[in-house]
Structure 1
Amino acid sequence: MTPGAERTDESAIRIGALVPLTRPGWVEAGRHLLAGFGLAVRDVNESGGIGGKPLELVVRDTAADSQRAAAAVDELDRLGVAALAGEYHSVVARAAAARADALGLPFLCSSAVLDALTGQPTDWVARLAPAQSHGWRIYADFLLGAGHSRIAVAAQPSVYWASGTRILRDHLVPRGGTVIELDMGALAPEAVNDALVDNRATALLLLVGHPEPVASIVKSVRRDPRLAGLLIGAPAGQPEFAEWAALLGEDGAGIPFLRYRPERLGPLGARVETTLRERLAAAPSFVAFEGYDTIAVLADALRSSGADRARIAGSWPRIAVDGTRGPIRFTRTPGIGVWQWAWPPVQVVDRDPADPDRLRLLRAG
């Protein structure tokens, strides 16, 4: 279904879907998330729907805009959706979660990792993606294990990037690491190189927007002979997407990133991967699997609770779903104010410079 289009089947159970489908949102991530949603809805409906009623998505484009997302939640609430699914961008998801909590509308967050997804504990929101602190600590351990103790962070002003920087510093410094902050609100990409040399950094982490300034920074660093041995990292996961390879070519290989899937998929995951690959005409990212698992969880909640919003929200702790990436259960996790799958599988991987289509597993957690 195209964003904004509505069906008139009054018997359908509706789920509101929040996805970035236009710039400045990450459109490719939005496409993968929506592909996962769509395939799972098809599977649910082909197996009889929810008590004989079809499941239907009502899609809204957030375009990485928090105010637009909050307005979409209000609209979807008025349309009578049973629950919300999505979003990819953490800051946008936080705005959606706050509005859903205020309205009493169940929201299963698919991809956003910001620890403080809500300002206060709530029973209305659950999350599939791991908290940023969990995944990024695994990434920090990978850096230390690879021998990197002087780590530069090129960051733009953002709640998400600031949170990532803090997590890295809090984990690395007590273990002998040094975190050097490069303010990309003040530095031009070409000035990054001199700062890396002056600070004797052995690794540079890109906590910046895509496609710019990330592409300019990578190209500049790759072409500087003084930085030939420097590790470039992108913990937020940008290199998994085909757009990264198309933008950077060989320069984009050998850059470790986080993704949330196991090394080997089970039968369900393998089947879903094959179908998603056909739908996307590309290898499905972990975001596509998050989309499928989101609908699988909501379908389970709807089967046990009907379309009653309060009963859906009350079902989070009782859900037991075999997802594409393993068994999904929700718990209360210290420091996390929402019901959390603790934890999805976490990998640190990179694209093999000798074969950029092949991903190399560097660490699992």
Structure 2
Amino acid sequence: MNTSSSSPGAERADGSPILIGALAPLTRPGWVEAGQHLLAGLELAVHEVNAVGGIAGRPLELVVRDTAADPQKAVAAVDELAGLGVTALAGEYHSVVARAAAGRADALGLPFLCSSAVLDELTERPTEWVARLSPAQSHGWRIYADFLLGAGHSRIAVATQPSVYWASGTRILRDHLASRGGTVVELDTRALTPAAVCDELAGDQVTALLLLVGHPEPAVPIVRAVRRDRRLAEVMIGAPAGQPESAEWAASLGDDGAAIPFLRYLPELLGPLGTRVETALRERLAEAPSFVAFEGYDTIAVLTDVLRSHGTDRARIAEAWPRVEVEGTRGRIRFSRAPGIGVRQWVWPPVQVVDRDPAEPGRFRILHSG
């Protein structure tokens, strides 16, 4: 890897800002709430770094671009940000979008610390330019499958939409459950109305339906239909991708949105740093922060450590990933190579299966940890 300081983002001593490109879905069809929480975490951490003098007297500055869940828009944003001289890229929530951004960052030689996207194949080839904080999908979704089996669910239906992300999730669930005697039935929501999904569930004798679909459409209508179908009173609804964590989900579904287990990446108890950051994020967001907000904060914590230790040259930042050891809001962060993962990976963030308590939908219950 070239370590020349001639690349954009190379060392300067004039007090000018150190630019960090930030990618997030901030408009539809992106998951806007996730993007807002991600950006809140990034901004809070930048504010705190600058409050203590920045990086060797230079402030951090986020240059934010909305990806709107569009891979092509993300690629264009990476090109623009690289031309603006950003030192590194941060963020992104949607896996397919992050994969497009990661591929372009790799091609340009631009360090990218991915905050939230989980798709295993974040890049087509192994790369030193990209690192990731969120767990790989295969790791988290296997933990979810173990939860299903432990709860007595071995015949599962998945309501799906066309997407590399949903297809990957279906494959992970099927392979993991099949090795333990379970089965997965796929229901294509392009061909089935919510009422037809209910008919299929009643005929297939499944005990759980997983929503591998977008939010709010078609996830919310499917939940309403299943909740109102007496034939399906004993069928558990699950959403491993995390839709039920959002305030919009709770507002749309009310009590119907409770008792739907999902994955989130938080420890059972936050340490002192996590507790302090949670309070600050709650004030900034005017609501409880999701795990995505903590991922945003931790992203800047890692980049700050790298910039202070290794400078602002892009190549040196990428070379520093294996040497990172940072106290994050959710634990000690170190990057390594995980089998089948082409990027530097935090192995592993904490993983929980949680749901909204039916007795108090604003409260989350921890059902399983991995």
Q: Give the shorter-chain TM-score range.
A: over 0.9
- Give 1:115's match in structure 2, choosing from 101, 115, 120: 120
Deviations 1:332-365 (A, max 9, x none): 1100000000000000000000001111110001
Of residues 66, 72, 92 in structure 2, which corresponds to 1:61? 66
Q: Is the 2:15–2:57 Cα contact (8 Å) retained in structure 1?
A: no
> Which position in structure 2 is the counterpart of 1:216?
221
* One-letter amino acid matched to 1:361: I
Q: 1:31 aligns with which of 24, 32, 36?
A: 36
Which one of the candidate residues 40, 43, 46 is aligned to 2:45?
40
Structure 1's consecutive aligned runs of 4 or more residues displaced over 6 angstroms after TM superposition are: none
TM superposition shift of 1:46: 1.1
Show CA shifts across 1:312-339 (max 9, x none). Answer: 0000000110000000000011000000
Distance 2:190 2:332 in 1: 42
Return the offset for 1:307. 1.0
The answer to whether residue 157 in structure 2 is matched with residue 152 in structure 1 is yes
Matched with 2:331 is 326
1:284 matched residue in structure 2: 289
Determine the C-alpha separation between the residues in 2 that align with 1:117 and 1:327: 23
Amino-acid identity (%): 78
Query: What's the offset of the Cα at 1:10?
Result: 7.0
Q: How big is the shift at 1:209?
A: 0.6
Instruction: Give the AA of the match of 1:128.
Output: L
Equivalent position of 1:5 in the other structure: none
Amino acid at match of 1:113: V
Matched residues in 1 for 2:314 and 2:224: separation? 49
1:254 aligns with 2:259: yes
- SS state of the match for residue 273, structure 1? helix
Q: Please, which of 78, 85, 90 is the counterpart of residue 83 of structure 2?
A: 78
Query: Residues of 1 paired with 2:162 and 2:192: CA distance?
Result: 12
- One-letter amino acid matched to 2:342: G
Counting only pairs closer than 5 Å after superposition, residues 88-107 of structure 1 correspond to structure 2 as 88-107=93-112
In structure 2, the residue matched to 1:4 is none
Query: What one-letter code is carried by the residue in structure 2 that aligns with 1:289?
Result: F
Pair 1:293–1:140, CA change in 2 (3 A):
same
Aligned equivalent of 1:6: none
Q: Which residue of 297, 302, 314 maps to 2:302?
A: 297
Q: Secondary structure at the match of 1:34?
A: helix
> Helix, strand or coil: the match of 1:195?
helix
Equivalent residue, structure 2, for 1:363: 368
- The residue type paired with residue 253 of structure 2 is L
**AA aligned opposite 1:211:** P
SS at the partner of 1:315? helix
Deviation digits for residues 251-286 of structure 1 (CA, Å, limit 9, x no counterpart): 000000000010100000000000100111110000
Once residues 149 and 22 of structure 1 are traced to their aligned partners in structure 2, the CA distance between those partners, rounded to angstroms, is 38
Q: Distance in 2 between matches of 1:75 and 1:304?
A: 27
* Structure 1 portions without partners, runs of 5+: 1-8
| Helix, strand or coil at the partner of 1:217 | helix
Q: Name the CA distance, whole Å, in 2 between partners of 1:75 and 1:189.
A: 42
Q: Using the TM superposition, give the Cα deviation of residue 189 of structure 1 relative to its aligned residue in structure 2, in angstroms.
A: 1.5
Give 1:104 deviation, angstroms.
0.1
For residues 219 and 244 of structure 2, the distance between their equivalents in structure 1, rounded to whole angstroms, comes to: 11
- The equivalent residue for 2:142 is 137
The equivalent residue for 1:3 is none
Structure-2 separation of matches of 1:187 and 1:110: 34
Question: Which of 248, 267, 271 is equivalent to 1:266?
Answer: 271
Local SS of the residue matching 1:95: helix
* Distance (Å, rounded) in 2 between the aligned partners of 1:190 and 1:51: 61
TM-score w.r.t. the length of structure 1 is: 0.97
CA RMSD in angstroms comes to: 0.8
Q: Deviations over 1:186-219 (max 9, x none)?
A: 1111100010011101000000011000000000
Q: How many residues align?
A: 357
The whole-number CA distance in structure 2 between the counterparts of 1:113 and 1:190 is 31
Alignment TM-score, normalising by the size of structure 2? 0.96
Q: Distance in 2 between matches of 1:339 and 1:14?
A: 22
| Matched residue, 1:12 | 17
Q: Does 1:207 align with 2:212?
A: yes
- How big is the shift at 1:248? 0.6
Encode CA deviations 1:53-92: one digit per residue, 9 max, x unaligned.
1000000000000000000000000000000001000000
> How many angstroms apart in 2 are the aligned matches of 1:342 and 1:48?
31
The aligned amino acid for 1:363 is H
- Give the secondary-structure state (helix, strand or coil) at the position aligned to 2:179: helix
Alignment of 1:341-356 (within 5 A): 341-356=346-361
CA separation in 2, counterparts of 1:54 and 1:143? Answer: 47
Aligned partners of 1:173, 1:334: CA distance in 2, in Å?
A: 21
1:304 to partner: Cα distance: 1.3
Q: Which moved more, 1:178-187 or 1:261-270?
A: 178-187
Cα offsets for 1:33-63 (capped at 9, x unmatched): 0000000001111122111110000000000
Question: Counterpart of 2:278 in structure 1: which amino acid?
Answer: E
Q: Provide the secondary structure at the position in 2 that maps to 1:148.
A: coil
Secondary structure at 2:58 match in 1:
coil
Q: State whether residues 15 and 58 of structure 2, in contact with CA within 8 Å, keep that contact through their aligned partners in structure 1.
A: no
**Equivalent residue for 1:275, pick from 275, 280, 298:** 280
Report the Cα distance in structure 2 between the residues aligned to 1:118 and 1:361, rounded to whole angstroms: 32
